[in-house]
């Protein structure tokens, strides 16, 4: 925009402000714990200062966040003006049209006329893109810059800001296809050709590898678990028997060291050792019996491993022949 138009922009920013107050040139961070409305007002003021000082990109960011926190018509029109200044013509055009409708509903003729004046001026500058979509199959979605494009607008011109963009198409059973393109700052129609989608995923995906015939063994894990538990059960029983014998031996050592509930120091130690070994014997025996029972059940109820066919050369008198064998 020419330097002559800049004072007019600044004048309108001041016009839609809630108040005109002198502030420091440098914006301070918003204090924590304030409401969204206060943060929105703060960001709006910050955007004004940055716009007046020529920091247009930062001003647009402040206006955008202010609009998100507290939607107001004045913020929207300032944001549209900011986007127009930085060259985002299509975005500003849409925002001005939205603002004009909002102002008309509020009965604010001055803001409505301002928004429509800018929207009409931008219409002659809008870059328009025509998507040439593939016709070999029915499309499911068309996204422009990650946003869904309604199917009623797939074959109509799309107005985009100058710069880098992308279009992504998808169809049932096919891989998504994304095309990146650059829009020039020109009102002429720009064609973007989108190539066809890849093959059907169900056809292009390689089939899962298949093992040799007879190699499937659905109960292998069950049998292995049964064997492991049976081994644990056997070990538990062995430990239980061993510590049981040791406990009996320790009990026999008590002898005259204890009389009723009274024991000598040695007798008390021997008694404790006997009790400890008896506890280990009891626990180990219970674990052994339980693990052995579960392991035996798994082994008993699992299906046997399927036979594995083998092919080999069987020696015969006077020569050899092809033979078949199997493991069962």
Note whether residue 209 is domain-resident: no
pLDDT in tens, 270-302: 677 777 777 877 877 887 788 778 767 766 777
Question: Region 47-55: what's the mean pLDDT?
Answer: 96
Confidence of residue 62 (pLDDT cuts 50, 70, 90): very high
Share of the chain above pLDDT 70, in %: 70
In the prediction, which pLDDT does 313 show?
47
Note whether residue 45 is domain-resident: yes
Say if residue 19 is in the same domain as residue 115: yes
- Tell me the CATH number at 101: 1.25.40.10
Kindly tell me the sign of the dihedral angle through the C-alpha atoms of 257, 262, 265, 270: positive
Structural domain harbouring 92: 6-123
State in Å, rounded, how far the first CA of the chain is from the last one. 88
Say if residue 144 is in the same domain as residue 56: no
Say if residue 197 is in the same domain as residue 269: no
Note whether residue 206 is domain-resident: no
3-state secondary structure 109-172: HHHHHHHHHHHHHHHCCCCEEEEECCCCCCCCEEEECCEECCHHHCCCCEECCCEEEEEEEECC
Burial class (CB in 10 A: 0-12, 13-18, 19+), 188: exposed
Note whether residue 309 is domain-resident: yes
Question: Region 35-44: what's the mean pLDDT?
Answer: 93
pLDDT in tens, 99-147: 999 999 999 999 999 999 999 999 999 999 999 999 888 999 999 999 9
By DSSP bridging, strand 128-132 and strand 189-193 are: parallel
Confidence of residue 14 (pLDDT cuts 50, 70, 90): very low
Say if residue 51 is in the same domain as residue 101: yes
Helix pair angle (6-15, 36-52), 10° resolution: 160
Mean pLDDT, the chain, whole residue set: 78
Q: How many domains does the chain have?
A: 3
pTM over 0.85: no
Answer with the one of 89, 123, 157 that is the final residue of a domain: 123
Largest CA distance in the chain: 118
Say if residue 37 is in the same domain as residue 24: yes
Share of the chain above pLDDT 90, in %: 44
- Tell me the CATH number at 172: 2.60.40
Say if residue 286 is in the same domain as residue 314: yes
CA 246/CA 326 separation, integer angstroms: 50
């Amino acid at each position: 925009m020419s330097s002559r138009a800049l004072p007019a922009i600044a004048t309108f920013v001041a016009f839609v402000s809630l108040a005109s107050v002198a502030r420091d040139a440098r914006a301070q961070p918003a204090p924590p714990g304030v409401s969204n409305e206060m943060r929105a007002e703060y960001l709006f003021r910050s955007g004004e200062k940055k716009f007046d000082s020529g920091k247009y990109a930062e001003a647009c960011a402040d206006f955008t966040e202010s609009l998100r926190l507290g939607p107001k018509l004045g913020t929207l029109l300032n944001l549209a003006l900011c986007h127009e200044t930085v060259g985002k013509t299509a975005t500003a055009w849409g925002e001005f049209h939205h603002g004009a409708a909002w102002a008309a509903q509020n009965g604010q003729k001055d803001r409505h006329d301002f928004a429509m004046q800018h929207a009409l001026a931008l219409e002659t500058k809008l870059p328009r893109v025509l998507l040439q979509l593939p016709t070999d199959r029915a499309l499911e979605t068309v996204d422009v810059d990650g946003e869904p494009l309604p199917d009623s607008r797939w074959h109509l011109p799309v107005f985009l800001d100058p710069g880098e963009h992308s279009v992504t198409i998808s169809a049932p059973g096919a891989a998504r296809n994304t095309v990146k393109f650059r829009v020039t700052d020109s009102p002429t129609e720009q064609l973007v050709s989108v190539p066809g989608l890849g093959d059907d995923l169900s056809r292009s995906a390689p089939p899962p590898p298949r093992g040799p015939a007879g190699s499937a063994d659905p109960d292998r894990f069950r049998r292995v678990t049964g064997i492991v538990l049976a081994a644990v059960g056997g070990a538990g029983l062995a430990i239980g028997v061993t510590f049981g014998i040791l406990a009996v031996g320790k009990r026999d050592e008590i002898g005259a060291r204890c009389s009723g509930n009274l024991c000598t120091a040695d007798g008390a130690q021997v008694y404790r050792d006997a009790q400890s070994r008896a506890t280990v014997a009891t626990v180990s025996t219970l674990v052994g019996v339980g693990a052995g029972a579960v392991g035996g059940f798994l082994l008993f109820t699992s299906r046997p491993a399927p036979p594995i066919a083998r092919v080999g050369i069987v020696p015969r008198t006077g020569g050899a022949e092809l033979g078949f064998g199997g493991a069962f």
